[in-house]
Amino acid sequence: MAERKATNKYYPPDWTPAKGSINKFRGSHPLRDRARKLHEGILIIRFEMPFNIWCNGCNNHIGQSVRYNAQKSKTGMYYTTPIYKFRMKCHLCDNHFEFQTDPKNLDYAILNGARRQELRWDAKDNEQIVAEDKEVIKKLATDSMFKLEHEVEDKQKAKDVEPAIEQLESLQKRWKDDYSFNRAIRKTFRTKKYELKATKFADRSLLKRSSLPLSLKLIPESKEDSKLAKLMKLESTKCKI
């Protein structure tokens, strides 16, 4: 954006401190180009797409975090919180989107020009632990009957999740002594490694002795095979006699 570049501190020779600030002297706003529509109550800001959308003009998917130069203006109030509207042009077509802050739901609402890709879910359905919202906290502080009922509910909830917590605890205990656990694993691994090395060496020497290619893969020896081989040897000697 151009206004970011206009940060030089040049003071023309005809300027004197009596003429006020350099912005006043030049007749420009400190926010430069971003304030060009300020008389209409619009400030130009950088807006980051808060969720995935589809543009209604070109039907292209626009991902979350894509940034636009947007015109920000105040449209109303939600109690003491101002509601802002953001208007920006699609970077792929001539369509404009309009977003509005939604302080009630701590979210953004699309006014027009786009469709939201629904990726919202209820954390409670997902078996996640959800913090109490402000209204419940307020009621807990003021309504003693509600507090009592809430406590009963909480206790029941704690009872329900107890087996799962116990299971987690026992699992954690099992891996608690990670030094000896690590040592045991490394020992097993080391033994296995030596075994593999020894087998590889034996295989290689066997292949060399038999003048077979070294790339040939041998299957592990089995007792039955060696027994059978011995028997065959015996028979062949018998035949010769």
**Contacts with Zn ion, residue ranges (CB under 5 A):** 55, 57-58, 90, 92-93, 95
Q: Tokens standing for 171?
A: 């699992």
Is the torsion defined by CA of 29, 30, 36, 37 positive or negative?
negative
Does an H or E element contain 158, and which?
helix 144-174
Please classify residue 77 by burial: count the beta carbons closer than 10 Å to its beta carbon, then call 0-12 exposed, 13-18 middle and 19+ buried.
exposed
Q: Can you list the positions of beta strands (E) in 60-106?
A: 61-62, 67-78, 81-89, 96-102
Q: Which is nearer to Zn ion, 6 or 93 (CB)?
A: 93
Q: Which residues pair with 107 in a beta bridge?
A: 102
- Intra-chain end-to-end CA distance of the chain, in Å: 102
Going by C-alpha positions, the residue among 53, 66, 57, 68 that lies closest to residue 119 is: 53
Alpha-carbon gap, residue 231 to 239, rounded angstroms: 12
Give the shortest CB-62-to-Zn ion separation in angstroms. Answer: 8
What strands, in cross-sheet order, belong to the sheet with 67-78?
43-48, 67-78, 81-89, 96-102, 107-112
Q: Which is nearer to Zn ion, 93 or 231 (CB)?
A: 93
Give the shortest CB-87-to-Zn ion separation in angstroms. Answer: 14
